[in-house]
Structure 1
Amino acid sequence: MKILITGASGNVGRYVVEALINMGESVVAAGTNVEKLKDIFENRVEVVKFDFEDEKTFDNALKGVNRVFLMRPPHLGKPEDIYPFVDSMKSHSIELVSFLSLMGVEKNPIPPHHKIEKYIEKLGIPYAHIRPGFFMQNLSGIHSVEIKEKNEIFIPAGNSKTSFIDAADIGLAIAALLHQPEKYKNTAHTITGPEALDYYEVANILSSVTGKKIVYKKPSFLRYRSYYINKRGLDKNYVNVTVALYFMTRMGTAKKVTNGFYELTGRKPRTFYDFARDNIDAFL
């Protein structure tokens, strides 16, 4: 049987695909841009058109599939946007779904991940939720613009600490869950990097790696929200979700360090210093 990977061209999805290929699994890479998926994975996986907003794509994507990696697209801010596909997984008797959730979400009803987890469980679909800390790729991706152009980290996290984890490590952990569906049926796993850092420490690491003087600006929520919507032009719903997440970060929800990644993979998670060094071009 095959494993369907939603968001296969994304930060996490492509690592899940690669890890499952290395485990000898049959993989179906799903997304809205089929040609892009073919370019990324060449002929090593099956490719299928899939869109959370087009229910006509569901049946074909789930054909011959018994396991699913489920990732909520960032632009779909409401949990109800994902429910129709969860319903479809139920009707196709999926044996395990690994949902990309969020660290601490079991106690935090604000992010959409909380309700999605609960909906999967309510329908009785066997699950293996993965709850990672913040992605290191948030800094090399969405937040890299200010780092490159202004030598600033523009994030409203206050003085809080975050146990960043590399998306490649998240992908490997998810693959481990999907590879052994019976072992991990109806489980949840919180995975983090090896240390918790505040953004002053992140700025110091990036300064050391790049040779630039990078500073943490620590904006207010209102200033951050206004800048990302009005100056950066990002979707309001997406920005609102990030504001909620950074609010919870200030409450201390992102600082926990766990041994979950090692328990799933037998490997130590990557450090932020190593990540920054290996992705230096994203910050120059």
Structure 2
Amino acid sequence: MKVLVTGASGNVGRYVTNELLKMGEQVVATGTDLVKLQSLFGETVDKALLDFTDSTTYLKALNGVDRVFLMRPPHLGKPEDLFPFIDAMKQCGIRLVSFLSLMGVEKNTIPPHHKIEKYIESAGIPYAHIRPGFFMQNISGIHSVEIKEKNQVFVPAGNSKTSFIDAEDIGLSIATLLHSPEKYQNTAHTITGSKALDYFQIADILSKVTGRKITYMKPSYLKYRNYYIKNRGLDKAYVNVTVALYFMTCMGTAKAVTTDFTKLTGKQPRSFEEFAVKHINCFK
């Protein structure tokens, strides 16, 4: 039987797909852009259209599948948007679903991930939730613009610390869970890096790697929000969510360090310095 990967062209999904292929699994890569999936994976995977807002795409995507990597598309803000697909997984007798959740969400009912976890559990589908810390890709992605153009890390995180994890390591963790469904039934795993760093340390590491002086600006929530909406032109709802996440980070929710990644994979998580060296082009 095959493993279905939702969001297969995204940061985590593509790593989940590649790691599953290395393990000899047959993969159905899904999304709403089949051309992009073809360009990423060629003939190494099956491809299927899957749109959570269109229930007519569910059964074809789930055909011949017994395990699922499930992630919530960022543009779907309501947890209820995923409930119909979860119901379809139950009808199809899925042996294990690994849902990409959030670190600490078991104690935080505000993010949609909390209700999605609970709905999966109440549906009776065997699950293996993955709860990662902040992605290192947040720095090389959305926040790289200020690093490249202004030599600044522009994040409203105060003096707080974050146990960053590479999306590639998250992908390996998820693939490990899905490769051994009986072993990991009804479990949850909080995946972090091996140490927590504040953004002054992030700036110092980036300075060392790039050979430029990178400064952590430590903006206020309001200054950050105004800049990202007015100067960067980002969607107001998206920026508001990031402000809320950084507020929680300042409350200490992102600093915990776990050994779950090593327990699952037998490897050490990639350090931020190793990540910065590997993705140096994102910061030039």
Fold match (TM-score > 0.5): yes
CA contact (8 A) 1:110 1:244 kept: no
CA distance in structure 1 between the aligned counterparts of 2:207 and 2:55, rounded to whole angstroms: 47
- Residue by residue over 1:231-264, the C-alpha shift from the partner in whole angstroms, topping out at 9 and shown as x without a partner, is 2222233222222211111111111111100000
Q: Which residue of 2 aligns with 1:176?
A: 176
Partner of 1:63 in structure 2?
63
Q: Secondary structure at the match of 2:20?
A: helix
Give 5+ residue unaligned stretches, structure 1. Answer: none
Q: Could you say which residue in structure 2 is the equivalent of 1:160?
A: 160
Aligned length: 284
Query: Which residue in the other structure is 1:78 paired with?
Result: 78
Aligned residue for 2:115? 115
How much does 1:53 deviate?
A: 1.9
What's the offset of the Cα at 1:203? 0.3
The question of whether the paired residues in 2 share the 8 Å contact of 1:111 and 1:241 is answered with: no
Matched, 1:238 2:238: yes
Question: Matched residues in 2 for 1:198 and 1:218: separation?
Answer: 11
Equivalent position SS for 2:11: coil
Q: Which residue of 2 aligns with 1:8?
A: 8
Query: Is structure 2 residue 221 aligned with structure 1 residue 221?
Result: yes
- C-alpha separation between the residues in 2 aligned to 1:251 and 1:104? 12
Residue 202 (str. 1) matches residue 199 (str. 2): no
Structure 1 vs Structure 2 CA RMSD: 1.0
CA distance in 1, matches of 2:230, 2:84: 32
Q: In the TM superposition, what whole-angstrom CA distance separates every residue of 1:140-194 from its partner, at most 9, and x where no partner exists?
A: 0111111111111111111100000111100000000000111100000011111
Paired residues of 1:75 and 1:237 also in contact (CA < 8 A): no
Deviations 1:36-55 (A, max 9, x none): 10111111000111112222
What's the secondary structure of 1:82's corresponding residue? helix
Q: Tell me the distance in 2 between the aligned counterparts of 1:220 and 1:82.
A: 34
SS in 2 for 1:28: strand
Give the equivalent residue in structure 2 for 1:40.
40
Matches within 5 A, 1:126-137: 126-137=126-137
The residue correspondences of 1:184-195 to structure 2 (distance < 5 A) are 184-195=184-195
Moved more, 19-28 or 85-94: 85-94
Helix, strand or coil at the partner of 1:175: helix
CA contact (8 A) 1:194 1:269 kept: yes
Cα distance in 2 for partners of 1:231, 1:37 equals: 32
Distance 1:148 1:78 in 2: 34
Paired residue type of 1:279: H
* 1:97 Cα deviation after fit: 0.5
The normalised TM-score by structure 1 is 0.97
5+ residue gaps, structure 2, are none
Deviations 1:109-149 (A, max 9, x none): 12111111111111111110001111101100111111111
Q: Please give the secondary structure, in 1, of the residue aligned with 2:244.
A: helix
Identity of aligned residues (%): 70
Contact 1:75–1:235 (CA under 8 A) maintained in structure 2: no
Q: What code does the residue aligned with 1:206 have? A: L
Amino acid at match of 1:20: L
User: Segments of 4+ in structure 1 off by > 4 A?
Assistant: none
Q: What is the distance in 1 between the residues matched to 2:201 and 2:143?
A: 16
Q: Deviation digits for residues 200-253 of structure 1, max 9, x if unmatched?
A: 000000011001111111112222222222322222332222222111111111
